[in-house]
Structure 1
Amino acid sequence: MLKRLSPRERVEQFLGQFEPTVRAAFIEAIDDIRSNITLRRIVERLEKGDINGAIRAMHLDEAAFRPLDEAIRQAFNGGGVATVEQMPALRDPFGHRIVIRWDARNLTAERWLQEHSAQLVTGIVQDQTIAIRTALETGLGRGDNPTKTAVAVMGRVSAVTGRREGGLIGLTTVQGEYVARARQELLSGEPDQLRNYLSRGRRDKRFDKTVQAAIEAGKPVTSALVERITGRYADGLLKLRADTIGLHETFAALGASKDIAFRQQIEKGSLRADVVTKGWKHTPQEHGRMQHVAMQGQVVPFDQPFTAPDGTAIPYPHAPGVPTRHTLGCKCLAEYKIDFVAQLVR
């Protein structure tokens, strides 16, 4: 006999199916951008002081992120199908079963997909452009030659994999600043700054002995080693970003598709909005949000938002427009329930 999965187990199953796909799609997009960059063209433009031209030559266009669009679409549709499959059987006043289906071509569903993907990809490209511009200006400003400046942004081609590693492609502006500060710490020769590098969570710990030796000698790490160390540090940050996007976008797709699936049945007349409620379900985490812990068990009507302790109205976890302080890294869920007696009576 098959075990009936709990709501939490169904979510874990959903995440296991779609989160790796979204994460891999982001990495695929970054690899595509990296593999199509020609170092010589970037260097030529930097030699002329044409930073805008150098950025254009990297082809940081939104089309590169089509795999990410597709992965999110699959997660969104998967969430919609799963929601209607898990809905209890609905019946009309005569006892006849009401047929319910997920409609991926529904106007509300298509609008969410289009607007969400466009906002995500546009944000990634714009933020990436700022990070790269800052790095190029900083590198040239401190006297690095165009080749060194370009490689620091693009990464080096690995003799083992044949792919570019390190660099800033794919990192956020803030992550790019982390890499720049790490480079300064390693080149400083100052024990306090070198120890600060050793506190960075995404560093490659295989280089820790080298940094510790520099601390004991009171000398900076050599330039060649700094490029290797910061390159691996950048790779760690890129993995972190891919993990963050994979988790966040999968939860966003699940939350939206679940809400829209119920909305579709309401619009069709198969279900009344006033008989549906939704409850906030907090997922315990090591560094969970205390506000979301406080919201555990909060129940509201379908068309009303949850209210966080700070006053933020949240239609459902990861809903569009909700501040990132309530979404990034959040694993909370909304559990929808139907009052069947009221549905039949009304």
Structure 2
Amino acid sequence: MLRAAFLEAIDDITSNIVLRRIVERLERGDINGTIVAMHLDEAAFRPLDEAIRQAFNGGGVAAVEGMPALRDPFGHTVVVRWDVRNVWAEEWLRLHSAGLVTDIVADQIIAIRTALEEGLARGDNPRQTALDVVGRVNRVTGRREGGVIGLSSTQSDYVARARRELASSEPDQLRNYLTRARRDKRFDRSITAAIREGKPIAKEAVDRIVSRYADGLLKLRADTISLHETFAALGASKDIAFRDQIGKGNVRADTVTKTWRHTPGEHPRIQHIAMHGQVVRFDQPFMAPDGTAIPYPHAPGVPARHTLGCKCFCEYRISFAEQILGPAIR
């Protein structure tokens, strides 16, 4: 859902671009005006914002429904419900979603500005520079493909380097392109032939190859954002669901424990493997081997080295004996 929402936002931006306006501003050397004409405003990412809200709400509902039946000291059943309007939930949604979209737009502007400046510096005409940035219309689908809109500034730099490699006609440069993991391998044969025959790759072919490479990076960007934001939303909603019940007096904080659970992956974090099974009280953070205090996986403020691509989760348990009889039974 989040992946589709991100790609929907990018498609909305590119489909509303009027190439003529972009080219006119580039002909005047107006980089700022060119970026403004692309309408890279935060409103375009409302689908992503809404998808995060749905994931967060779904996580909170699941967390509450997964709580075992609670009873007060008199044996009466305690009614618990997920309240997405509680103060912690509203604060997380407001700060997290706003910060994410702001960061995406700011990074987009950096990537696009760099791509425009480099295109003009190479001596490319304004139309060529514009198409390299916003992508070219696929005559079959009617949608723009390739370009750097939607990519991070780092990924945009990858695209620029790939274009230089393919346009260089240098065997070493072409071989380096063939090491790029996100390239469209259907073009490998023609690149290998160019190396073998010592012939340059036609400009039209370079445009097609680079466009497919950029599309591969955009998919990676969508996958990365959707994975990270899904785990962030689910982790936060689960923690807030318990925090809300504690705040309402339905559960005592000193009866809740958290256990770190590591999910095996292709490139596991050694530190997170070491943390698997670590148990702490609800109001205490987990401690990573490098000394980082982590309230729960993907918690706000935790360094990226502990969050990006992480699939760990937190398991919460309530001690019913302590809940009813108090801490004296420990």
TM-score bracket, normalised by the shorter chain, equals: over 0.9
Partner of 2:56 in structure 1? 76
Which of 59, 63, 71 is residue 39 of structure 2 equivalent to? 59
* Inter-partner Cα distance in structure 1 for 2:98 and 2:312: 24
Please state how far the C-alpha of 1:220 moved relative to its aligned partner: 2.8
Q: Percent identity?
A: 75
5+ unaligned residues in a row in structure 1: which ranges? 1-20
Query: 1:294, CA displacement in angstroms?
Result: 0.7
CA RMSD of aligned residues (A): 0.6
Runs of at least 5 residues in structure 2 that lack an aligned partner in the other structure: none
Show the counterpart of 1:298.
278
Q: How far did residue 219 of structure 1 move?
A: 3.0
Equivalent pair of 1:190/1:219 in contact (CA under 8 Å): no
Partner of 1:214: 194
AA paired with 2:102? T
Q: Distance in 1 between matches of 2:147 and 2:232?
A: 29
The counterpart of 2:208, out of the listed 216, 222, 228, is: 228
Q: How many Å separate the matches in 1 of 2:88 and 2:34?
A: 40
How is 1:3-82 mapped onto 2 (pairs within 5 angstroms)?
A: 21-82=1-62
* CA shift for structure 1 position 86: 0.4
1:238 and 2:218 are equivalent in the alignment: yes
DSSP 3-state at the match of 2:316: strand
Q: For residue 230 of structure 2, what is the aligned residue in structure 1? A: 250
CA distance in 1, matches of 2:278, 2:210: 45
Letter of the 1:60 counterpart: L
Q: Which amino acid letter does the alignment assign opposite residue 314 of structure 1?
A: I
Q: Which residue is equivalent to 1:133?
A: 113
The equivalent position to 2:240 in structure 1, one of 235, 260, 267, is 260
| Structure 2 residue aligned with 1:336 | 316
Are the aligned partners of 1:158 and 1:164 in contact in 2 as well (CA < 8 Å)? Answer: yes
Q: 2-side partners of 1:108 and 1:340: how far apart?
A: 25
TM-fit CA distance, 1:107: 1.1
Q: What amino acid sits opposite 2:290 in the alignment?
A: D
Q: How does 1:91-170 map to 2 (within 5 A)?
A: 91-170=71-150
**Which of 271, 278, 302 is equivalent to 1:322?**
302
What is the TM-score normalised by the length of structure 1?
Answer: 0.93
1: CA distance between counterparts of 2:254 and 2:231? Answer: 26
Q: Aligned runs of 1:170-209 on 2, under 5 Å?
A: 170-209=150-189
Q: What secondary structure sits across from 1:285 in the alignment? A: coil
TM-score normalised by structure 2 residue count: 0.98
- Distance in 1 between residues matched to 2:173 and 2:315, nearest whole Å: 48
Q: What residue identity is the alignment partner of 1:224?
A: E
Q: 3-state DSSP class of the match of 1:334?
A: strand
- Offset of residue 310 of structure 1: 0.9
Alpha-carbon distance between aligned partners in 2 of 1:163 and 1:80, rounded to the nearest angstrom: 37
- Structure 1: distance between partners of 2:296 and 2:200: 50
Cα deviations across residues 271-305 of structure 1 (Å, max 9, x unaligned)? 01011110100000111111101111111110111
Separation in structure 2 between the aligned mates of residue 275 and residue 58 of structure 1, nearest angstrom = 53
